[in-house]
Amino acid sequence: MTTIMGILNVTPDSFSDGGRYLDLDAAVMHAEALRDAGAHIVDIGGESTRPGAERVAPETERARVVPAVEALAARGFVVSVDTMNAATAAAAVTAGARIVNDVSGGLADPEMFPAVAESRADVVIGHWRGHSADMYATARYEDVVGEVVAELQERVAAALAAGIAPERIVLDPGIGFGKRGDQNWAVLGGLGRVVALGHRVLVGTSRKGFLRDAMDEPPASDGQTDRGRRDLATAVTSVLAADAGAWGVRVHDVATTRDALAVRARWREAS
């Protein structure tokens, strides 16, 4: 069974106005909706990692994330915390998070792997080459799949050296991180080589811009992307990622991906 990680962003642009209590209420309601739709894990993030996004002060990130982690862990959710900051990760684990999801794979904060090693949390190590503001400046590759695999191996070695047991490690090829459109497709096409490293693999394609090329998506008139089309494309990439051996997928629209994975499962059972 493919693990579905549902995305819960606790950033001001994701939950409009209201005080912190209201935000927390909204966060819990959204997490319940994700779980009802079939999410096994809820991934809580307090800092946008979109291209060009501004960094958030660690205290601000912590203040957004920790109460949500605490509330959800207390309600029995399996919570993951999406952060590049070791102090936020440690506080979230204390509050009940079971997974630290670091898109930078420990590169943004040298304290990250030691902090994870001290905890009992699993860690998602993402392939990453730099912060969002200059993310595409680093998108230069001779052999994108080979370099992603080699750089992930280096990060695994660093995690092991810090004392993190191999079974606690999940690898993520970092779709959209330091990669332009075609480079993302190349990485997905070569996903089997990431799986072959022997760790669980998580893939995050949800609503990302590179999906646009495949669908010839016209620019939306109101400046918003067509989420329905992106969610369908995400469900398809999730199925294909599962076929390539991925352990899990990280998505916004859990129901569509759940259905797609359920159809895949029936097809396979009958084969």
Please list the alpha-helical segments (H only) found in the chain: 20-37, 58-74, 86-94, 112-118, 144-162, 181-189, 191-195, 211-215, 227-243, 254-269
Q: Is 8 in the site for ligand PMM (CB under 6 A)?
A: no
- 250 catalytic? Reply is yes
Q: Identify the active-site residue in 64, 98, 179, 250.
A: 250
Kindly indicate which of the ranges 43-51, 65-73, 112-120, 193-201 contains the residues binding ligand PMM, using the contact rule CB under 6 A.
43-51
Q: How far apart are the first and last CA of the chain?
A: 16
Q: For residues 31 and 25, what is the distance between their CA atoms, to the nearest angstrom?
A: 10
Q: Is 124 in the site for ligand PMM (CB under 6 A)?
A: yes
Residue nearest ligand PMM, Cβ-based: 204
Q: Is 126 in the site for ligand PMM (CB under 6 A)?
A: yes
| Candidate list 6, 190, 204, 248; residue touching ligand PMM; CB under 6 A | 204
Q: Closest distance between ligand PMM and the C-beta of residue 37, in Å?
A: 17
Q: Which amino acid is at 52?
A: G
Cβ burial, residue 270 (10 Å; 0-12/13-18/19+) = exposed
Q: For residues 36 and 266, what is the distance between their CA atoms, to the nearest angstrom?
A: 21
Q: For residues 87 and 158, what is the distance between their CA atoms, to the nearest angstrom?
A: 19
- 179 catalytic? Reply is no
Q: Closest distance between ligand PMM and the C-beta of residue 270, in Å?
A: 31
| Candidate list 103, 121, 195, 255; residue touching ligand PMM; CB under 6 A | 103
Q: How many residues bind ligand PMM (CB under 6 A)?
A: 16
Q: Is 231 in the site for ligand PMM (CB under 6 A)?
A: no
Q: Is 179 in the site for ligand PMM (CB under 6 A)?
A: no
Q: For residues 2 and 156, what is the distance between their CA atoms, to the nearest angstrom?
A: 23
Structure tokens at 87: 């102090």
Handedness of CA 66, 164, 206, 231 (dihedral sign): negative
Q: Is 250 in the site for ligand PMM (CB under 6 A)?
A: yes
Q: Which residue lies nearer to ligand PMM by CB, 113 or 269? A: 113
Which amino acids are annotated catalytic?
Answer: 208, 250
The contact set with ligand PMM (CB under 6 A) reads: 7, 48-50, 82, 101, 103, 124, 126, 172, 175, 202, 204, 206-207, 250
